[in-house]
C-alpha cells in the first residue's frame, strides 16, 4: 500500500502539512508506505489547454509536474491537501490537478472526430483512492473540499467516507496550531484507518 500526499500549501510546514503528516504517520503505523510531496518549492504552471497531451499521451509542459505525476500514477491512495484561500484550493494544487486530470484522461483515450460521441474508458488515475483534506481558519472548507471531491469523481477515483469531512480548523493570525483542533486530529486518524482498511480489501 502506497500513500502519497500532495501538500498544496505555499507554507511547507503549515497546518495542512501537519494534518497530512498525521494521516501519513497513522498509515505508516498500519503498514503503508508513505510519501509527502511539497508543492511550495515546485516550479508549476497551470494547464495551458494546448491539447498536445492527446498525441503525446502525457503533459508536454516541462516543469516539476513531470516528476509529480508518475508518483500519482504509482500510488494506491492520493491525499490532496490544501488550505482554504478565498473559498478555494491553492493555485499550486489546482495546477497539478488540472494537468493530471486532463493529460491522465488522454493517456488512455483518443480524440473523437467531429460528430462522434465519447464513451470514456479508464484514465491514468482510475481506481486510485483519493482523500481530500482542507484546512481553514474559519470558513470556506465546503468549496475547497468540494473541488477536490469533484476532481476525484471525474477521474474515476475511489472516495473514502469518514465520520466527518476531512477538515481541520487552525491558523488564526497565521498560527501553526493544527494539533489544537482535537476533533480535526481525530478526523485525520479516522480517515487513515479507513484508507488502509479499504486498500487491504482491494
CATH H-level, domain 2-201: superfamily? Flavodoxin domain (3.40.50.360)
Look at residue 113 in the predicted model and tell me its pLDDT. Answer: 87
Average pLDDT rounded to a whole number, residues 88-117: 95
Q: How confident is the model at residue 3 (pLDDT cuts 50, 70, 90)?
A: very high
Q: If DSSP codes are grouped into helix, strand and coil, which group holds residue 199? A: helix
CA angle 85, 86, 88 (to 5 degrees): 65
* pLDDT single digits (tens) 24-65: 999 999 999 999 999 999 999 999 999 999 999 999 999 999
Q: If DSSP codes are grouped into helix, strand and coil, which group holds residue 130? A: strand
Does the pLDDT value for residue 116 go beyond 90?
Answer: no
Q: How far apart are the first and last CA of the chain?
A: 10
CA 150 to chain centre: 11
Within 10 angstroms of residue 27's Cβ, the number of other Cβ atoms is 24
Look at residue 164 in the predicted model and tell me its pLDDT. Answer: 96
Grid cell digits, residue 44: 508549476
Does the pLDDT value for residue 118 go beyond 90?
Answer: no
Amino acid at each position: 500500500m502506497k500513500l502519497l500526499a500532495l501538500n498544496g500549501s505555499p507554507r511547507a510546514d503549515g497546518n495542512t502539512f501537519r494534518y497530512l503528516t498525521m494521516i501519513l504517520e497513522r498509515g505508516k503505523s498500519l503498514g503503508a508506505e508513505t510519501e509527502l510531496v511539497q508543492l511550495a518549492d515546485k516550479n508549476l504552471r497551470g494547464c495551458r489547454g494546448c491539447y498536445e497531451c492527446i498525441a503525446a499521451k502525457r503533459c508536454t509542459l516541462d516543469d516539476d509536474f513531470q516528476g509529480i505525476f508518475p508518483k500519482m500514477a504509482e500510488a494506491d491512495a492520493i491525499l490532496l491537501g490544501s488550505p482554504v484561500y478565498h473559498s478555494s484550493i491553492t493555485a499550486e494544487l489546482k495546477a497539478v490537478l488540472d494537468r493530471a486530470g486532463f493529460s491522465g484522461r488522454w493517456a488512455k483515450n483518443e480524440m473523437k472526430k467531429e460528430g462522434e460521441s465519447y464513451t470514456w474508458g479508464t484514465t491514468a488515475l482510475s481506481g486510485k483512492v483519493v482523500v481530500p483534506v482542507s484546512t481553514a481558519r474559519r470558513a470556506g472548507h465546503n468549496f475547497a473540499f468540494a473541488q477536490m471531491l469533484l476532481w476525484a469523481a471525474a477521474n474515476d477515483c475511489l472516495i473514502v467516507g469518514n465520520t466527518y469531512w476531512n477538515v481541520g480548523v487552525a491558523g488564526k493570525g497565521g498560527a501553526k496550531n493544527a494539533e489544537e483542533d482535537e476533533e480535526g486530529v481525530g478526523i485525520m486518524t479516522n480517515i487513515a484507518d479507513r484508507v488502509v482498511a479499504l486498500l487491504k480489501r482491494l
